[in-house]
Structure 1
Amino acid sequence: MGKPNILERLAAGEVIIGDGSYAVTLEKRGYVKAGSWTPEAAPEHPGAVEQLAIEFSRAGADVTQTFSFWCHEKSLPKGCKYSCDEINQVSCDIAKKIAKKYGTITAGGLSQTGNFARWTAKEDVQKDLRRAVNILVKNDIDLIICEYFRNIKEMEWAIEVALETGKPVAATMCMGPTGDEEGVTVGECAIRMAKAGAQLVGVNCLFDPPMLLEVIKDMKTSLDLFNLKPYLMVQPLGFMCPDGGSYGWVNLPEFPFACEPRQITRWEARKFAREAYDMGVRYIGGCCGFEPYHIRAICEELRDIRGRKIPESSDKSDYDLSTHKELESKFERYKNKGSEQWWKDMAPSTGRPMSTPFCRQTEPTCVHRAIFKK
């Protein structure tokens, strides 16, 4: 018998920990161009992509996702030397290599075409999506994730293509509390994804953890009303963006070159993971801005649920604060540093005067209740 697939593991009660940011993290490291956000780094610098995948695996991720985000022929930058097939093949090779070493689930990302508004014919959209998914099938990738879709109709078409592969299918919309780009509600989107056949349903990117937990809560309520039982999945943005508009952090004046002061802490990642688990989410990961240490923090937080298993890289993490408890007893400057609750209750500062989005907004909007969650 082969290893259990993701659906069997979820059915057995396991919490699956996803990986984190590739495009944004590799941009910071000098391998991806901001604005393009395309994955030609896989064949150009395979060692860089592989190293990041290793870091996520050492941090405890159960999943290694192919670096194939936004890989559509019409989206590649001018002068790119590689085709989408070549990029995706190297991405699959890297993911398979990491999976062999660390025992991770391989996942292939299938993102929106970017042409839905222009391509009115379902056949045109699905032709583009089918080409992207064919390489994933050829490489026997374990899971297809239809991710970063802004329109529920395009998502339904993508799920249809993904189901043709015979692989488990996850579907995550990139939307906030107001729903998709045409105003279809969060609840209706969840119902339609589940009815389309996705076994995992949820949200990814654009919005921060508190906001996407509110979205997941709304999704769960609607799914329960219709007695639909897909597994819930959430992979939020790693930056706080309470002042983001309908496009989340993309609407921020700091996007994309000055968002570092907004990055969540490991303790905020831990609080997010616990709340997501308590809400019934069983696939918990991160998207843009989620670094390996955030994924490690999620694993450390849920070690009581996951058999107290800690990641390889936790060997260098004071996850139980034993080191800082000792320091606290010796030095006044370490007061409270050995208390997990102190860290979780902290409201971290950027150190910059007038840094909060509430005192410098040029176009104030209504405030969502998720902003005030601690």
Structure 2
Amino acid sequence: MSSQPLETDVVILDGGLATHLEALGYDLRDELWSAKLLMENPEAILQAHRDYFAAGADVATTASYQASFPAFEQRGRVRHEAQALMQLSVELAKEARDDAGGGVVAASVGPYGAYLANGAEYTGDYDLDEDGLIAWHRPRWEVLADSGADLLACETIPSYAEARAIAALLRETPNINAWVSFSCRDGEAISDGTPLAECAALFAGNPQVVAVGVNCTAPSHVKSLIGRLTESPIIVYPNSGESWDAEDHRWLGIADPVEFGAAAREWRDAGAAYIGGCCRTTPEHIRQIRESLA
């Protein structure tokens, strides 16, 4: 049963796409993560988007987080095939949106660290500088900016250099809007140690940027991080509260959707205008957010 009719004063994002796909029975132990299903079972992605809309989400974030030309080329997909798979990620989200009777499609632009698949999106430990990051992001960026998505979700950004690269790419493509969200290591700084406020300042006053905030971050840090952001709108979609053990490739801890929904009220009251979930959050987390904020 959908919670969609309940009214809230914030935009409700979706939750962890890969998390829900795994709950549906799909094995994503792969460097492409959920993007591998673009090749193997796109209907599964469509179902996951539909489930999030049914739970009350206003936004579908595409399965392109881990998608990139180099990643697909490593699987033997030539350039036009890789581009078609990225476009497919948007078409699936648009179909689910239309089935739900409305909503927003956000094309996920994951960080360079997601391609490295070594946990670097949580550390910002990169082997590319700002110019290298611009060059790496640009081919996928151009595809997604021209895909028909409503906006780009530039998410889980762990480094100041990558934030500067994203800002540069936005200047290159004035026809597309975006939100920008950072992975953070504590209540003050993003993953590479740069203060969140310093990163957010790169996007201050840019009319293309619909929101700035944090994702893929412990929920215990979110309220403090909101306080570091002086401009609105603010977007937050943290992890469930569990922690990722990169060495053993598993999640540690327990998260409760009801507690997550209750925390969303604090984030709204602190100033967040877009609220959802990231890793290990499910349609039930999104349902609890909407009902808690209604």
Smaller-chain TM-score bracket: 0.7 to 0.9
Q: Is the 8 A contact 2:50 2:97 kept in 1?
A: no
Q: Is the 8 A contact 2:213 2:226 kept in 1?
A: yes
Q: 1:117 to 1:89 in 2, by over 3 A?
A: same
Aligned-pair distance for 1:291?
A: 0.3
Q: Sequence identity of aligned pairs in percent?
A: 25
Q: Given residue 107 of structure 1, which amino acid in structure 2 is its aligned partner?
A: A
With the length of structure 1 as denominator, give the TM-score of the two structures. Answer: 0.66
Q: Is the 8 A contact 1:231 1:282 kept in 2?
A: yes
Q: Is the 8 A contact 1:25 1:288 kept in 2?
A: no
CA–CA distance in structure 2, aligned partners of residues 282 and 32 of structure 1: 31
Q: Does the residue aligned with 2:29 lie in a helix, a strand or coil?
A: coil
Which residue of 2 is the match for residue 189 of structure 1?
199
Q: Does 1:169 align with 2:178?
A: yes
Which residue of 2 is the match for residue 256 of structure 1?
249
Which residue of 2 is the match for residue 231 of structure 1?
233
Aligned residues: 270
Q: Given residue 105 of structure 2, which amino acid in structure 1 is its aligned partner?
A: T
The counterpart of 2:58, out of the listed 62, 77, 101, is 62
Q: Which has the higher contact order (CA 8 A, sep 6+)?
A: 2
Q: Given residue 233 of structure 1, which amino acid in structure 2 is its aligned partner?
A: I
CA–CA distance in structure 1, aligned partners of residues 166 and 192 of structure 2: 17
The counterpart of 1:16, out of the listed 11, 14, 27, is 11
Aligned-pair distance for 1:113?
A: 1.9
Structure 2, unaligned runs of 5 or more: 1-7, 117-124
Structure with higher strand content = 2
Q: Given residue 20 of structure 2, which amino acid in structure 1 is its aligned partner?
A: T
Within 5 Å, give how 1:74-93 maps onto structure 2.
74-76=70-72, 78-79=74-75, 81=77, 83-93=81-91
Within 5 Å, give how 1:131-280 maps onto structure 2.
131-163=139-171, 164-177=173-186, 179-194=189-204, 198-205=209-216, 207-217=217-227, 219-220=228-229, 223=230, 229-241=231-243, 249-250=244-245, 256-259=249-252, 262-280=253-271
Structure 1, unaligned runs of 5 or more: 1-12, 224-228, 242-248, 304-374
Aligned-pair distance for 1:214?
A: 2.2
Q: Given residue 50 of structure 1, which amino acid in structure 2 is its aligned partner?
A: L
Within 5 Å, give how 1:261-340 maps onto structure 2.
262-303=253-294
Aligned-pair distance for 1:181?
A: 4.1
Q: Is the 8 A contact 2:12 2:274 kept in 1?
A: yes
Larger Rg: 1
With the length of structure 2 as denominator, give the TM-score of the two structures. Answer: 0.82
Q: Is the 8 A contact 2:108 2:152 kept in 1?
A: yes
Q: Given residue 182 of structure 2, which amino acid in structure 1 is its aligned partner?
A: M
Q: Is the 8 A contact 1:155 1:193 kept in 2?
A: no
Which residue of 2 is the match for residue 315 of structure 1?
none
The counterpart of 1:47, out of the listed 43, 48, 51, is 43
RMSD: 2.5
Aligned-pair distance for 1:136?
A: 2.1
Q: Does the residue aligned with 2:287 lie in a helix, a strand or coil?
A: helix
